[in-house]
Amino acid sequence: MVDFFMPKSLLDSKVTVKKRKPRGSLSKDAIVDAAKELLHEQGIDALSIRKIANVLDAGPMSIYNHFATKQDIVFALVEDFVARAHQKEHSAMNWQEWLHVTFVDIFTAFTNEPEYLMLMISSNNIGVASKNVFDDALACLMEAGFSSEKATIAFHKLLSFTLGAAMMRANLSQATVESESAAHNVMKGSQFDTSLRDIIVGLT
């Protein structure tokens, strides 16, 4: 009898309820992948626990079961990025070529995924992947005869140049400028490669 008083349109239609993933079905990797998707598509400002949960069709509390804060997710994203940027073995190269290839890899990774520049700036922690880059570079330089102190200075000099070049490259890609200065051109393509080689040669 109740159906008699209900509009036919409601009787014929099917109401679909969006089911959230059951508790315990998420993993850290799945959450990081969802955060990467948001970062690539909407930028760093889109990273929030609620938006990440929406991508996963999950509740925010499901995210908190794996990450205590959003900053912990940012840290995981940075770790994932650095590990991907520094995954090649260069052991057969001499120290100058090793440094060159390593920092070209880092520059290329940032130019391909510029959203990670601001993400790294906003992350205060240094993880295992980042420490591996530092340790590998220091080992390479010290084997070439650098002291620990001079190797550290050389590493930070190369890293500062690479990050600065990547940031300028990212800014250039967003700007529509008819004429670019020589300083801007240094940060593009083969000019970065040449400048990096000059810095490495100047370390000795």
- With 60 as the cut, is the pLDDT of residue 178 above it? no
Q: Which single residue is written with the structure tokens 């130019």?
A: 111
Residue 197 sits in the same domain as residue 121: yes
Mean pLDDT of 23-52: 88
pLDDT tier at 92, thresholds 50, 70, 90? confident
User: In 3D, which of 90, 119, 116 has the Cα closest to residue 103?
Assistant: 90
Residue 110 sits in the same domain as residue 145: yes
Report pLDDT for 104. 93
Residue 59 sits in the same domain as residue 111: no
Distance between CA atoms of residues 186 and 198, nearest Å: 12
Q: What is the pLDDT of residues 28-42, one digit of tens each?
A: 999 999 999 999 999
CATH number, position 90: 1.10.357.10
Enclosing domain of residue 121 = 86-202
What is the 8-class DSSP label of residue 18? P
CATH number, position 48: 1.10.10
Residue 41 sits in the same domain as residue 110: no
pLDDT tier at 119, thresholds 50, 70, 90? confident
pLDDT tier at 189, thresholds 50, 70, 90? low
- With 60 as the cut, is the pLDDT of residue 84 above it? yes
Residue 26 sits in the same domain as residue 117: no
Distance between CA atoms of residues 200 and 97, nearest Å: 9
The total of structural domains in the chain comes to 2
Residue type, 40: H
pLDDT tier at 24, thresholds 50, 70, 90? low
Contact 55, 67 (CB under 8 A): no
Residue 57 sits in the same domain as residue 99: no
| Other CB atoms within 10 A of residue 100 CB | 20
108 membership: H or E segment, kind and range:
helix 95-112
User: In 3D, which of 122, 135, 26 has the Cα closest to residue 75?
Assistant: 122
Residue 94 sits in the same domain as residue 186: yes
Residue 100 sits in the same domain as residue 181: yes
Residue 1 lies in a domain: no
Residue 191 sits in the same domain as residue 161: yes
Report pLDDT for 180. 52
